[in-house]
Amino acid sequence: MDQYRVYGNPIKQSRSPYIHKAFAQSTEQILCYEGELVPNDEFETHVKRFIQMGGNGANVTMPFKEQALALCDQLSERATLAGAVNTLSFKNGQILGDNTDGVGLVRDLINQQVGLKNKKILIIGAGGAVKGVILPLLEQRPHSIHIANRTVSKAQNLCEQFNAKSLSASSFTDIKKQEYDLIINATSASLTGEIPALPVDIITPKTACYDMVYGNTLTPFLRWAQQQGAAKVIDGLGMLVEQAAESFYIWRHVMPETQSVLQALRIKLNHEK
Ligand code: NDP
Q: What is the pLDDT of residues 201-216, one digit of tens each?
A: 899 999 999 999 999 9
Give catalytic status of residue 65 as yes or no. Answer: yes
Q: Are strands 31-37 and 74-75 parallel, antiparallel or unpaired?
A: unpaired
At 238-254, the pLDDT tens digits run 999 999 999 999 999 99
Q: Is the pLDDT of residue 176 over 90?
A: no
H or E stretch covering 8: strand 2-8
pLDDT band at 169 (very low <50, low <70, confident <90, very high): very high
What does the pLDDT read at residue 163?
85
What does the pLDDT read at residue 191?
82
The residue whose CB lies within 8 Å of the most ligand 1 atoms, and thus the one to mutate among 153, 188, 219, is: 188
Residue range 135-154: average pLDDT?
96
Beta strands in 30-119 (DSSP E): 31-37, 57-60, 74-75, 87-91, 94-98
Q: Is the pLDDT of residue 4 over 80?
A: yes
pLDDT band at 74 (very low <50, low <70, confident <90, very high): very high
The residue whose CB lies within 8 Å of the most ligand 1 atoms, and thus the one to mutate among 150, 198, 234, is: 150
Count the alpha carbons within 13 Å of 120 in the hemisphere toward its beta carbon: 12
Cα of 212 vs centre of ligand 1, distance in Å, is 9
CB 194 near ligand 1, within 6 Å: yes
What does the pLDDT read at residue 3?
98
Query: Tell me, what amino acid is at 209?
Result: C
CB 128 near ligand 1, within 6 Å: yes
What does the pLDDT read at residue 99?
96
The residue whose CB lies within 8 Å of the most ligand 1 atoms, and thus the one to mutate among 11, 85, 108, 187, is: 187
222 in Cβ contact with 232 (< 8 Å): no
Q: Which atom of ligand 1 is nearest the CA belonging to 172? A: 20
CB 243 near ligand 1, within 6 Å: yes
What does the pLDDT read at residue 106?
98
pLDDT band at 21 (very low <50, low <70, confident <90, very high): very high
Whole-prediction pTM: 0.95
pLDDT > 70: percent of the chain: 100
Specify the residue with its C-alpha closest to ligand 1, atom 37: 212
Q: How many CB atoms lie within 10 A of CB 11?
A: 18
CB 105 near ligand 1, within 6 Å: no
Q: Which atom of ligand 1 is nearest the CA belonging to 194? A: 18
Give the distance, in angstroms, between the CA of residue 224 and the centroid of all CA atoms in the same chain: 21
